[in-house]
Structure 1
Amino acid sequence: MAINLGDKAGAIKHYTQAIPINPQDAEAYYNRGNAKYKSGDKAGAIADYTQAITINPQYAEAYYNRGLAKYESGDKAGAIADVTQAITINPQYAEAYYNRGVAKDDLGDKAGAIKDYTQAITINPQYAMAYYNRGVTKSESGDKAGAIKDYTQAITINPQFAMAYSYRGVTKSESGDIAGAIADFTQAITINPQDAIAYYNRGIAKSKSGDKAGAIADFTQAITINPQDAEAYINRGIAKYESGDIAGGIADFTQAITINPQYAKAYYNRGVAKSESGDKVGAITDYTQAITINPQYAKAYYNRGIAKYESGDIAGGIADFTQAITINPQYAKAYYNRGVAKSESGDKVGAITDYTQAITINPQYAKAYYNRGLAKSESGDKAGAIKDLETAKQLFQQQGNTQNAQQVQEILNKL
């Protein structure tokens, strides 16, 4: 009797009837396990694979499939044990090495995963997925060049491998090759015009290259394909904001919040846009919401501090800058702006201390030298003021800011 494995219920019924006739038929248990697995009954599949193994302890495929079922049931360690047993029985089992690599990767064993993918490739040099996954793991381990080589090999084997193009594009972008990244994302889109992620990633790359209009077009296409992509709305909003379309940016950030009301980044960016448009109260409200969702959001504290300071709430600004510093002790801008706020409130000593800390973190911080020089001058330390202002002038000149350098020189001329 020919069994239609596409008819999973029929297959299960057939093997269930056949097993009592020959209870030692390991293959019947194995095939029923496969049918249960395809039906989503992972526990039933595991039980049948186990019975097949009991009858035939050398049944590599049963160990392998039981490993897959365990993996999909969340038992990663059990999956590794089963796939390892399949490899012991059949050392040329490329798929077993590959899937053991996947499980090891999930458990954080990157080196072990790479070793298994490599073994799968050694057995089957045309194993595109093994090259692809090894590339992903290498990239996550910091080996960007090795990752790109693996993605390229996967593409050579399978020129229609859209995900390999996409991931190679991401890795190229992370390595600074923006043009190469855009070319890869474009190829992924050519292969799969409904690949929203490829449009999204190409939008990110175009934005990095300064092509805001192209970025907006790509984010829009990603949203058309997947209208619930909050991240695409966020990045389109940022591109619009950076292009001068503040209202459009706010609208996109609002849509991202509608999709995901717990999206701290969306509240933060909407706060930035509102602040730029002059709505300091609305900005503070959004930064506060971002902080409520993510109490470790240093940039939200920092920007709320700026908005409070610009609204005349100097004490509130200082408190927020202090919180940003507590979260990120290397936040030079937070020290600098707290110094500005302290100076405004009359605390010149505290301001000088904060400017000094900003300079310690970033020795090229021209504005910190400049403001520290002014604070020293106002505190009567003329020599210290001249030294800081001279340094500020040199840094401004080195950074191409001739206008600020000239302004500093005018102050020096008066000291």
Structure 2
Amino acid sequence: MRRRSLLTGALAAPVLAAGCARDGSSADSAGGRTRITYAIWDPLQVDGMRKIIRAFEAEHPDISVKLQVTPFESYWTTMKTAMRGGTAPDVFWMNAVNSQLYASNGVLEPLDPFIERDGVDMSEHPPELVRMYTYDRTHYAMPKDFDLIGLWYNKKLFDRARVPYPDDTWTWDTFRDAAAELTDPKRGVHGVAAEMAKQYTYYNTIAQAGGYVIRDGESGFDDPRSIEGLRLWTDLIDRGWSPSQSAMTDTIGRQLYLSEKVAMNWDLSAMASQMYASPAIKDHGDVAVLPKGRQRATTIHGLANVISGKSEKTEAAWEFVKFVSSRPAAEIQSREGVTISSLAGTQRPWVESMPEFQLQNFIDMLDYAVPYPSSKHTAVWENLQPRLLGGPFTGRGDIAEAARTLARQMDLALEQEK
């Protein structure tokens, strides 16, 4: 059975004709105002989104926005149930993992008619992000923000080991040497957290090695250079320069970094505010660009806003989606310091919101960012990775053999998408 058929009841619900705006003035309106619903999952962004909503409502007094916050752990289950039951929010957050799945099942409103009508310039957002939310040459989402991966490091631990701080001259060799020198068994400190965390670790090094995760509907895990990118991490664990994978199952790399048990950790730009909230890391933590392999690369991801294909208030929903990606909203979001606004020229307030950190490094890495790998059923083949790569990441088995097995099984999953 093709996996698309498994979603028939959950996502493939009937929708109105794509691209046709529907007048919401008669539905769920009060006092002459059209009310739309907006679903998100990140509690750290609630304050910023409320400020954006207030600014939008001030400009559009005929539209009100009701914010719905659902924890990420239950967000997608809740969304599928709402789609099936006809109670989906008018506007909601989308990520790369689910974008093609929702677009291909016809439950999202195509945005091209609105973009063309209103002259929205999509080139003001990172092209990798725009492509991430384009399906079958149609835009289904408006980018809101982006995140990249940087090399977070603890200056106190570097100083104690007399290791120079990382900078843009670092290569994989420099990184490995530093991890060895920073590892201090007597103090219970490791040089780096070599976590089996796709977006944070090996997706980046696969690209840096010149490999790829997916291309033209086929897996790249069996490519020799992809294997080279994976092996960087398993070697760090095997040599004792990283905590064991089992230790990082109980306490993830981010927490080990925050508790000063690892000197380096590859992590999101979106975690900057969490780092800043830690007195120790605010005082002697910082971030650098990722070290260079055969080439430079960092994974870009970002959230986007979509309109439900079942919304009866498409015009109002579009006005809101357009506003959230506009300069006034982007500047509000940037000042909040939680995430980087995707609109060109609005990132400076975010960079300056935490002056103790060299956040400009994230902006500089945009020049060589690679998009988060995805397909229609990203979650299916991503779920194969912990099971098939877990052995080598825990010191059992060879990473090359595991990667080739993963590629074969991933290709079988991708075949079901056709």
TM-score normalised to the size of structure 2?
Answer: 0.24
For CA contacts below 8 A with separation 6 or more, give which structure has more relative contact order: 2
Larger Rg: 1
TM-score, length basis structure 1 = 0.24
